[in-house]
Amino acid sequence: MEQLDALDRQIVAALVRNGRAPWRLIADVLGQQERTVARRGNKLLESGVVRTNSFINPSSVSSRSAFLLRVTAAPRELRRICSWLAAQAETSWVSALSGTNEAVAELFLAPDELGGFLYGRLAEVEGVQSFTMMPLLEYFRTPSGWTPDILAKEQYQSLHRDEDGQLAGIRAGRTGAALDETNRSLAELLHRNGRATVDELASELSVSKATVSRRLDAMTSSGALFIRAVVDPASLGFPVESLITLVRTGTATEDPGKYLAALPVTRWAAASGEYVLAQVAVASLEDLRGLLDGLRRLDGVTSLRSSIYAEIFKRSTVMYRDGVPEKPAEAAAPTDHS
């Protein structure tokens, strides 16, 4: 994948922080002319290098919770199984790992859906040898809070507040009210185009701009709706993506999950009991080695495993075909997206 030049990388990093940031704000933060940033930014969006979409958080609006699924498969069947997982509405991202013939995915299921998915659907997929699944009980960082080492901390803060408020809502474990028809329609429009203007959204929904602004702010601030920039880290100069799994003790002076969440290489970090899991994106294998060495030295880390991503099949609900993200669907009647 061809890397972007310095300014394009900065623009993409700004969109990662705030996919709906006006070009004027991004230009001010980067110290560039607005017309230059707008021209380059629109070109990046049109080319598909980066796109913004919305993602309803099922754990905030339903009884569904996040799980990490790992599937061991026959090597020649792994890609087909990854594609099957990516096509399931319950998954938000799916990747194949290089260390073993293994697929890994994040999915959202209610307790009464577990048996049907695992033993009624997944177990019937040809080539599946075994699987493990663990609940993601606490998030320290999600892809919405990724701050790649491209902009300064102050620049990221100027573009958008951090996601601590959203994470607090996730950690609370309280199921909010289901989204009404207007909010679901708004989320569906933003899923197709996360940068649609308030005017465009209000016109599509036949409501006032004030209603759109109020509802959008309420959903994003509560963690019910994430608006994310979908981008391959390789285009930003971070081609090595790895899933890190470590085991912590309850006596650690510094929580490894919080430590990982604070690093600019971390795209997301979560915990399931004594397990801490994170996806990182780094520039080289040498950088990954340095990161792992630092984690091993943390007090309370008893074991550590790193598995490099070999292929992406779904990222932030966007499906990939032969390594290329699918283009947004044409405008259609809003549907239930969870």
pTM of the prediction?
Answer: 0.87
Q: What is the pLDDT of residues 227-272, one digit of tens each?
A: 888 999 999 999 999 999 999 987 766 789 999 999 999 999 999 9
Distances (CA, A) of 305 to 96, 126, 290, 293: 16, 28, 14, 11
Q: What is the DSSP string of 19-73?
A: TT--HHHHHHHHT--HHHHHHHHHHHHHHTSEEEEEEE-HHHHSS-EEEEEEEEE
Tell me the average pLDDT across 145-154.
Answer: 94
Q: Comparing C-alpha atoms, which of 128, 5, 9 is closest to residue 72?
A: 128
Among 33-42, 55-64, 71-80, the least confident range: 55-64
Both tokens of residue 295?
A: 């984690």
Tell me the average pLDDT across 97-103.
Answer: 91
pLDDT at 115 over 70: yes
The set of residues, in sequence order, having a beta carbon less than 8 Å from that of 315 and lying 6+ positions away, is 93, 230, 232, 325
Both tokens of residue 15?
A: 């969109």
Both tokens of residue 268?
A: 């997301």
Per the DSSP assignment, residues forming a β-bridge with 282 are 240
Paired sense of beta strands 91-97 and 266-272, if any? unpaired
Q: What is the share, in percent, of the chain residues with pLDDT greater than 90?
A: 71
